[in-house]
Amino acid sequence: MLYAIAYAATLVAFLAVDAVWLYKMGSVLYRPTLGDILLESPRFAPAVVFYLIYPIGVLAFAVAPALKAESVLTAIGWGALFGALAYATYDLTNYATLRNWTLQITLADIAWGAVLTGVAAAAGYGAAAASRHWMAA
């Protein structure tokens, strides 16, 4: 039950914060550079799969160690590292292989992955820690 709560909180935080980023930065960072290779509307099925499975990685690599350490800073730190590595895999591959992909997008996206995942891990940890406390009472 504890991990289900952590998963739900991580997912909601990740979706909400990423939606703001994509809404704000889409027209500023991505569309001007990648416009001719972007779809008019996204393929939603792969996006849904990504948003459902990514929080599992956040739980395994950030929230679970944080619960063991009883530290939100552990969640943020491991979450940021996991996010930077995951986003770097995508961005550095694109930078290496796609003509339109820029260093600016690469660096911004990796930094964003670190921040976003750190925040989502903190939310997952916070919800799980509060639930653990509530269940023990």
- The residue to which tokens 């940021």 are assigned: 80
111-115 long-range CB contacts below 8 Å, 24 or more apart?
111/84, 112/21, 112/87, 113/83, 113/84, 113/86, 113/87, 113/88, 114/80, 114/81, 114/83, 114/84, 114/87, 115/80, 115/83
Query: For 94-120, what is each residue's pLDDT tens digit?
Result: 999 999 999 999 999 999 999 999 999
Query: For 24-40, what is each residue's pLDDT tens digit?
Result: 998 999 999 998 888 98
Q: Are 94 and 104 in contact (CB under 8 A)?
A: no
What's the pLDDT at 137? 64
| SS3 state at 98 | coil
What's the pLDDT at 133? 79
Rounded to two decimals, what is the model's pTM?
0.93
